[in-house]
Structure 1
Amino acid sequence: MKIRGFEVVTAYKEKKIILPERKTDKSAGYDIACAQDVVLKAGKVTIVPTGLKAYMQEDEYLGIHIRSSMALKNSLSFINGQGIIDADYYNNTNNEGHIMLAIFNHAATDLAVKKGTRLAQGIFYKYLMIDGDNRNKGLVRQGGIGSTGV
């Protein structure tokens, strides 16, 4: 029985994607690398594919955070601060749950990033619900990024 982890999405199966891993015994985050060479344009948001999807328990989410070294050394941030990957994003019908990084380059110059560069880290979290929230609303995710509430 799978509890939580990462897999490579079908479109990237043959592209030698590195599965995330913690680098030390006390690391909270699993380092996430970009799946291909990209150029992060100065003053712009770039959507960076990871080639990954994540599975987890239904009362968990995966928080995606920019790696502090990337942020400090290269003036990068996520446009939404922190990415949140819900449990039902995994294997959704629109994009198979492919995790994408929305990176904003605050610098005045473009930054070329090579495939395999660790840009982010993922941390699995439990979440709580309020009294009276009906966990089984009967709704099933039908798409990828930004698909809930549509």
Structure 2
Amino acid sequence: MYPVLFKRLPGNEDLPLPRKMSEWAAGFDLHAAVSGPVTLAPGERGLIPTGFAMAMPPELEAQIRPRSGLAFKHGVTCLNSPGTIDADYRGEVKVLLINLGQQPFTIERGERVAQMLFQTVPRVEIREVGELPDTVRGAGGFGHTGV
């Protein structure tokens, strides 16, 4: 188990910290820490605060992902998804939302706007070489393995 430390930012004592909404949920729901209603017109994006900062061990990253209910019912999703929060970031966690729906969407204080999943990050060493080992696929790219 990896310890993740959360710091509630001033003025957000009324909001829950990220939490799982069911026993086997993979993600922790994030709540909007907006000071008043924020309306996103169709095609508009907005950076929604969550009211907390956190500290993770260097073996982890946090991924911000859309909530399926908001996407299905309203066309509201996360840009840059999944968004990555690095282990050395100590600022407020924010969610970049976009309204891809056909109607304006209003975000209220405390509304669940996204989910956060934690993943381990392998340590990788980059090595430059003159040649790469061959594979059957080779350099075949987009659409190479079928339609």
TM-score of Structure 1 vs Structure 2, range by shorter chain: 0.7 to 0.9
Correspondence 1:110 to 2:114:
no
Report the equivalent of 1:120. Answer: 114
Cα-to-partner distance string for 1:70-92 (whole Å, 9 max, x where unaligned): 111110121212111111112xx
Partner SS state of residue 119, structure 1? strand
AA aligned to 1:63 is: Q
Identity across aligned pairs (percent)?
27
Cα-to-partner distance string for 1:40-70 (whole Å, 9 max, x where unaligned): 2211111111112122101211111111111
Distance across 2 between alignment mates of 1:5 and 1:84: 17
AA aligned to 2:106 is: A
Following superposition, the deviation at residue 8 of structure 1 comes to: 1.3
Cα-to-partner distance string for 1:91-139 (whole Å, 9 max, x where unaligned): xxxxxx1111111101222111211111111111111122258xxxxxx
Question: TM-score, normalised to structure 2's length?
Answer: 0.76
Report the equivalent of 1:64. Answer: 64
Q: How many residues align?
A: 124
Structure 1: 4+ residue segments shifted above 3 A: none
Report the equivalent of 1:23. Answer: 21
Distance across 2 between alignment mates of 1:103 and 1:48: 7
Report the equivalent of 2:74. Answer: 74
> Unpaired segments of 5 or more residues in structure 2?
128-147
User: Where do residues 1-150 of structure 1 align in structure 2 (5 Å cutoff)?
Assistant: 3-10=3-10, 12-13=11-12, 15-36=13-34, 37-90=37-90, 97-131=91-125
> Unpaired segments of 5 or more residues in structure 1?
91-96, 134-150
Max Rg structure: 2
